[in-house]
Structure 1
């Protein structure tokens, strides 16, 4: 039962150093090791891409802070908050196959998870020849003008920059997927439904490109912004304490699925006590109503926030293999 993930863990350990390319000049470093960190189980990435040449308007004067939660030297479990320089950490494979994936980790819009839903997934993808980009997006409640749109603005800009620099990373701009977890799943779902929404003013040639992912995978995603299915913390951080019904509708991705949305991979554990499986079911229904190719996997156990490592020993354990097969089936990895 554990063989596939055990082999993957060994592969990731061997890949960690090889996947770290020299850092591009004049880019903001990845989030720091973190307060309370005594070790790094794997080397951190050293290459990043800043999303914006200059700080966005209404730049809040706050410090970026990284916190380590792990007490086990076998893994890190960090989160970062106070992000004022949104950026991507780049994981280059030893032998790129032309595919790329933008990863949007979760954190309830309170913070952005670094390892569990970011770097661990990126290492898995890089081991498969996929160039991975982990997005550290701005948090909507931390002083930004039009805060509810800043995570989507960062995700759109990230997709455009990946395509704009496709030659540099040896990727095919027509084979760029997105995957997101929890609140990062909301970012991913917003991107797959509102990729054409103008949520920021274009700044350079990259913004002439498309922000539409060629395939998208919201994993145990926050979707609904209205009760009873809404995740209360994410809704509050995104829309404020008392959002209007209009705001709830505007930021519920399942209500805005266009007919040209990309094919989707949906996954949720039915015992998720934090983000109800109803979120995934509502998104699936909306995608199917638009005849969007949708592969859905529901598992009886797994809880919330299992990522890769915490899926072990549960019915959801082999979801990464299903996901990689889906990437092949959709043509992202050939």
Structure 2
């Protein structure tokens, strides 16, 4: 690989990682895709990925020269992005361990608080908080519906390699932080409504937020997360383009109720047809990440005996839908 670039691999190709692949491809950044099995390898080799950016431009990305089977890879990588669901993280960490350089780091781009589940690996982990939405259209095209940022932070509050912004700009704006946990909690709260609440009702964001009761439930969920963050003394990090949770939830610092409803209505109108990832999981009878979103909130609140009934309701409703 070019000495100018760190060696980068991606294990798990999905909506989030394809958006990162698009940025690398446009910037001619070398990368490898580590495939778990031959079937996935053959599929990605035979058919280029079709990607549609927020401006509507469609580009085809041929991954053929980037592919390798994990068991066949002899390379060691400085960074490995893990593009899997939270429930598969342990497996992905295990199968990519031999491909990681001794000084290398995994980059976790999952929702929730994934790093906290691997306390013994903190020195080897970088947290990545994603600020864009990409979904798969009916024809298989990956569509990034909004521009977004990637917040990267070492889990032990260390400073990161400053090269990251140049690797992904201008396709993805990168922010480096030493306080990744605050951004994690902000995104966790957002996901508790756009993923968790939407999944519990199996609605698009437009259907959810253009309904007054849906907006009220969303504000209740955000209020519980805001109170929990205050109790845990977590300083919120706001993802660019988002609204602070402390302004959306009830209590000190909250915006007037009518403005909060207006913000949610605006989101509903802007992303009217979007069925977020957990809604799509239920659409296709797949297991969701609810235990790592609203379930994570319920678990942490329970440890401190703080009631979070709105999040508990969402958790139970989605688990029920999964079992049907």
Task: Indicate whether the TM-score tops 0.5.
Answer: no
Specify which structure has the higher proportion of helix.
2
TM-score, length basis structure 1: 0.29
TM-score by length of structure 2 reads 0.30
| Structure possessing the higher radius of gyration over alpha carbons | 2
